[in-house]
Amino acid sequence: MAAPTSYDVIIIGSGPGGYIAAVRCGQLGLKTAIIEKYSTLGGTCLNVGCIPSKAVLESTELYQKATHQFAEHGIDADNLRADLPRMMARKDQVVKKVCDGVVFLMKKNKVDVLHGVASFVDATTLRVAPSDGGSGEEQQLTAKNIIIATGSKPSTLPFITLDKERIITSTEALALRELPKHVIIVGGGVIGLELGSVYARLGSKVSVVEYTDAIIPTMDRTLGKELLRSLKKQGLEFYLSHKVTAVERAGDTVTLTAQGGPSAELKLEGDYCLVSVGRRPYTEGLNLAAAGVELDEKGRVKVNEDLQTTAPGIWAIGDVVRGAMLAHKASDEGVYVAELIAGKTPEVNYLLIPGVVYTWPEVASVGYTEEQLKEQGKAYKVGSFPYSASGRAVAGADTEGLVKVLTDAQTDEILGVHMIGARIADIIAEAVGIMHFRGAAEDVGLMSHAHPTYAEAFKEACLNAAGIGALNM
């Protein structure tokens, strides 16, 4: 084996945590390498997560609009047909384009890319072995700093065997070549609702079985209630407060059994079952013990507030550490660690990491939920504005939704913003911006918002929260 090559920073994993960390390290003049076990760069997000899911959400949303809304706009669109294999082929092209973009970014920022499985030899040395089925020699690399950005994998329940054909995860659900007749979804969280929407829009029957009494249960409760109403109208079926006890496959049929109360057994039969009950941190094969890197009680890499692990010089970011499993959170942490290594004083404000669900209507949230403020005993005010009162929403025939703003009862500072409706995924950025500067609801009320826009609903909700009164309600 050749003598190990030395770097300032080596990053394990090329998802939005790892590749963004690599870009920033390169920009800061650090000699950097990134190791990825798959043949493409981009991790879960670009290959089997954010990007492919948004590609098929977009395609199916267009189809849904064409089949259900065009007539209202005076457009006849008879004999429309969705071609699933073509939609999937487009999605594959989108994925290829964004993954190739990461290869370009690595070159541009002079980051060495190695494909193979990384594991620790000791706290400063990594072994890179060929990935499954790959050929080539094992290599050793050393670095002053190592960033673990190995991400996450889908979780399951102990009694469910994921056969990846009929009992599937999001990865397979994003690559189906036939339209399911009936998809049963375990878990009414983000993945279940986004991918459930995709198949419901194409005509599949979709049943969601959720353990808690609400969908998207970790977001502000108002959002779950509103979204439930909209998705039911779109034909999705929901079984809330149901404890799944079995999922079994016989031939092409999948049967789910759940308990909805002491004597309320539910049995559902479908041709696919999507298990979307969360994701687990991925650290398999890293040999963390050799480097002195410890895990916490949930199997995540243990880190301090600076994302340092229990071993000096080893850092961890993204889905593999505590906090929301979101691409932009992973990227923010990647920049943070790169800048710390370069001697800068970066910051990440975890309270202001927005969450978005790309259903229709879209859902977005930032800051504290009303439930959290109640729990803290905080005195707060609520302002809201319905999309039905927005001229832009009426013109666009997209009147489902609302904006809810939570403010400090004494100071009027915005503490949380929770929105559901058209184009909300982009409007939340305004809420993040104003909260970043610790702005008050009245500040937003004083800012000019172009008319007619969906963003005006945020201003109106702020005027309402500030006690000035919404202008269009």
Q: Does 37 bind ligand FAD (CB under 6 A)?
A: yes
Active site residue 451: yes
Which residue in 167, 330, 428, 463 binds ligand FAD (CB under 6 A)? 330
Question: Closest Cα to residue 212, out of 186, 237, 241?
Answer: 241
Residue 282 in contact with ligand NAD, rule: CB under 6 A:
no
Instruction: Return the number of the residue (152 or 156) whose C-beta is nearest ligand FAD.
Output: 152
Catalytic residue among 68, 73, 436, 451: 451
Q: How far apart are CB 467 and ligand FAD at their closest, in Å?
A: 35
Binding to ligand NAD (CB under 6 A) within 177-236 occurs at: 186-192, 194, 209-212, 217
Positions 177 through 196 that interact with ligand FAD (CB under 6 A)? 191
Confirm or reject binding of residue 359 to ligand NAD (CB under 6 A): no
- Is residue 278 close enough to count as binding ligand NAD by CB under 6 A? yes
For the chain, give the secondary structure using H, E and C: CCCCEEEEEEEECCCCCHHHHHHHHHHCCCCEEEEECCCCCCHHHHHHCHHHHHHHHHHHHHHHHHHHCCHHHCCCCCCCCCCHHHHHHHHHHHHHHHHHHHHHHHHHCCEEEEECEEEEEECCEEEEECCCCCCCCCEEEEEEEEEECCCEEECCCCCCCCCCCCEECHHHHCCCCCCCCEEEEECCCHHHHHHHHHHHHHCCEEEEECCCCCCCCCCCHHHHHHHHHHHHHCCCEEECCCEEEEEEEECCEEEEEEECCCCCEEEEEECEEEECCCEEECCCCCCHHHHCCCECCCCCECCCCCCECCCCCEEECHHHCCCCCCHHHHHHHHHHHHHHHCCCCCCCCHHHCCEEECCCCEEEEEECCHHHHHHHCCCEEEEEEEHHHCHHHHHHCCCCCEEEEEEECCCCEEEEEEEEECCHHHHHHHHHHHHHCCCEHHHHHHCCCCCCCCCHHHHHHHHHHCCCCCCCC
Site string for ligand NAD, 101-140 (x = CB under 6 A): ----------------------------------------
Site string for ligand NAD, 311-350 (x = CB under 6 A): -------------xxx------------------------
The residues, ordered by sequence, that sit 6+ positions from 337 with a Cβ below 8 Å of its Cβ are: 21, 147, 307, 315, 317
Q: Does 18 bind ligand FAD (CB under 6 A)?
A: yes
Of the residues 22, 23, 24, 49, which one makes contact with ligand FAD according to CB under 6 A: 49
Q: Residues touching ligand NAD: how many (CB under 6 A)?
A: 25
- Residue placing its CB nearer to ligand NAD in the complex, 16 or 386: 16
Query: Which range in 70-78, 143-151, 288-296, 299-307 contacts ligand FAD by CB under 6 A?
Result: 143-151
32 binds ligand FAD (CB under 6 A): no
Instruction: Give whole-number Cα distances, 375 to 218, 219, 435, in Å.
Output: 14, 14, 21
Residue 127 tokens, joined: 């072994």
Chosen residue from 199, 315, 358, 458 binding ligand NAD by CB under 6 A: 358
Q: How many residues lie near ligand FAD (CB under 6 A)?
A: 36
Closest separation between CB of residue 186 and ligand NAD, Å? 5
Least distance (Å) between residue 274 CB and ligand FAD: 10
Among ligand FAD, ligand NAD, none, the one that 362 touches (CB under a kind-dependent 5 to 8 A) is: none
Q: Which of 325, 373, 420, 455 binds ligand FAD (CB under 6 A)?
A: 325
| Region 234-253 residues binding ligand FAD, contact defined as CB under 6 A | none
The reply on whether position 244 binds ligand NAD by CB under 6 A is yes
Min dist. Cβ of residue 254 to ligand FAD (A): 20
CB of 249 to ligand NAD, least distance (A): 18
Non-local CB neighbours of 118 within 8 Å, separated by 6+ positions: 10, 12, 35, 37, 126, 127, 128, 286
The residue within the footprint of ligand FAD, chosen from 30, 35, 98, 277 (CB under 6 A), is 35
Residue ranges binding ligand NAD (CB under 6 A)? 157, 186-192, 194, 209-212, 217, 244, 276-279, 324-326, 356-358
Q: Which residues bind ligand FAD (CB under 6 A)?
A: 12-18, 35-38, 43-45, 49-50, 53, 117-118, 149-152, 170, 191, 282, 285-286, 318-320, 325-328, 330
